[in-house]
């Protein structure tokens, strides 16, 4: 029996599509497929840029890893990570779900019992063909759990998650959400107009190079440092258009200070960490919280 009718049930039930931000990030969107496609493509096409700007994981096993974003490199090499290939096609909700259900089931918990993966996909589950649960079909909770085990740079659940950023300390933690908020909520069409004709080969090459090369990575004939200036300006304009004010009367552009300083100095947080490590030859400055180079928008 075809999985299509049951798939449509899942699409209807999950088509609330907020959009969200995670660090990584979550952003809200409306339910139009055009709106979703623009946000999905922007998040994926700009993954090289956000990997570079927010690079903050240069270490592995207490030593230099050779990467500015070792976290980014590790996720690129997982079979459930990376940039979804459908990014470079015409994207809609159904295409996303069709792609998602063809991932192998990572785990299942039914009636208090965990079932280990055996390579079968969620589509097999939809059709009642799991070897260890013959005839049983998934619930909405099973589907939501499955969506949460897909670790691509952009992930759709009831929200769109932007996952390409290394996390950072309290001084810069608001910069990622603010950057995407400005682009997605205030400058969506302008941002999409810039990236819409970028070639898959260019995006993927930049994506694979960004964890090591950082802001010097080339994308569509420009270095990421130059794209950073362009999209930072667009984000600022978007946030100014939103004009969401804090209790002091300041808008959200104050939370872009970390990005502004990185672009101005042409130096990422990862490169600052590497400089500090080269001076001390250990990571005690992290353990002891002796860092003195946080950019804060507060």
Beta bridge partners of 218: 223
Beta bridge partners of 26: 161
Residue 18 to residue 187: CA distance in whole angstroms: 18
pLDDT of res. 125 = 96
Report domain extents, the chain: 17-70+168-287
Residue 40 to residue 91: CA distance in whole angstroms: 8
Residue 248, number of CB atoms within 10 A of its CB: 6
Question: DSSP assignment, residue 166?
Answer: P
Question: DSSP assignment, residue 298?
Answer: -
pLDDT of res. 116 = 86
pLDDT band with cut points at 50, 70 and 90 for residue 117: confident
By percentage, how much of the chain surpasses pLDDT 90? 77
Residue 66 to residue 134: CA distance in whole angstroms: 47
Mean pLDDT value across residues 111-134: 93
pLDDT band with cut points at 50, 70 and 90 for residue 287: confident
Q: For domain 17-70+168-287, which CATH number applies: 3.40.50.720, 3.40.640.10, 3.40.50.2300, 3.30.590.20? A: 3.30.590.20
Q: Which of 155-159, 207-211, 233-237 has the least mean pLDDT?
A: 155-159
pLDDT band with cut points at 50, 70 and 90 for residue 26: low
**For the segment 71-114, what is each residue's pLDDT rounded down to a tens digit?**
999 999 999 999 999 999 999 999 999 999 999 999 898 888 99
Helices (H) and strands (E) in the chain, counts: 14, 9
pLDDT of res. 22 = 41
Residue 28, number of CB atoms within 10 A of its CB: 16
Mean pLDDT value across residues 276-293: 78
Question: DSSP assignment, residue 220?
Answer: T
- How is residue 294 written in tokens? 């946080």
The answer, yes or no, to whether residue 270 has pLDDT greater than 70, is: yes
Cβ(22)–Cβ(162) below 8 Å = yes
pLDDT band with cut points at 50, 70 and 90 for residue 13: very low
pLDDT of res. 93 = 93
pLDDT of res. 197 = 97
Q: Which of 1-10, 54-63, 70-79, 224-233 has the least mean pLDDT?
A: 1-10
Question: DSSP assignment, residue 217?
Answer: -
**For the segment 168-190, what is each residue's pLDDT rounded down to a tens digit?**
877 788 999 999 999 999 999 99
pLDDT of res. 285 = 83
Q: What is the pTM (predicted TM-score) of this model?
A: 0.87
Cβ(63)–Cβ(281) below 8 Å = no
Q: Which of 6-15, 94-103, 200-209 has the least mean pLDDT?
A: 6-15
pLDDT of res. 231 = 98
Q: What is the mean pLDDT of the chain?
A: 88
Query: Long-range contacts made by residues 79-85, C-beta under 8 angstroms, separation at least 24?
Result: 80/106, 80/149, 80/150, 80/151, 80/152, 81/151, 81/152, 81/153, 82/152, 82/153, 83/44, 83/47, 83/152, 83/153, 83/154, 83/203, 83/204, 83/207, 84/44, 84/152, 84/154
pLDDT band with cut points at 50, 70 and 90 for residue 286: confident
């Amino acid at each position: 029996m075809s999985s299509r009718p049951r798939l449509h049930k899942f699409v209807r039930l999950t088509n609330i599509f907020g959009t969200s931000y995670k660090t990584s990030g979550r952003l809200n969107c409306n339910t139009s497929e055009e709106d979703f496609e623009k946000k999905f493509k922007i998040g994926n096409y700009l993954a090289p840029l956000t990997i570079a700007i927010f690079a903050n994981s240069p270490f592995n096993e207490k030593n230099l890893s050779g990467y500015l974003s070792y976290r980014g490199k590790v996720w690129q090499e997982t079979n459930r990570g990376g940039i979804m290939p459908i990014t470079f096609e015409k994207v809609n909700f159904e295409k996303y779900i069709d792609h998602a259900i063809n991932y192998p089931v990572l785990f299942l918990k039914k009636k208090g019992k965990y079932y280990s993966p055996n390579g079968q996909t969620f589509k097999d589950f939809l059709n009642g063909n799991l070897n260890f649960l013959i005839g049983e079909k998934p619930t909405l909770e099973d589907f939501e759990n499955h969506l949460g085990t897909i670790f691509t740079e952009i992930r759709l659940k009831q929200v769109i998650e932007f996952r390409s950023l290394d996390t950072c300390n309290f001084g810069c933690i608001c910069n990622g959400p603010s950057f995407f908020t400005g682009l997605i909520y205030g400058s969506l069409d302008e941002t999409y107009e810039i990236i819409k004709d970028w070639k898959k080969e260019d995006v993927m090459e930049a994506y694979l190079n960004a964890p090591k090369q950082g802001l010097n990575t080339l994308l569509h004939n420009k270095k990421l440092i130059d794209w950073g200036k362009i999209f930072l300006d667009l984000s600022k304009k978007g946030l100014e258009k939103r004009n969401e004010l804090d209790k002091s009367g300041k808008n959200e552009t104050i939370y872009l200070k970390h990005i502004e300083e990185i672009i101005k100095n042409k130096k990422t947080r990862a490169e600052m960490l590497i400089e500090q490590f080269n001076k001390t030859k250990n990571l005690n400055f992290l353990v002891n919280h002796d860092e003195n180079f946080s950019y804060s928008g507060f």
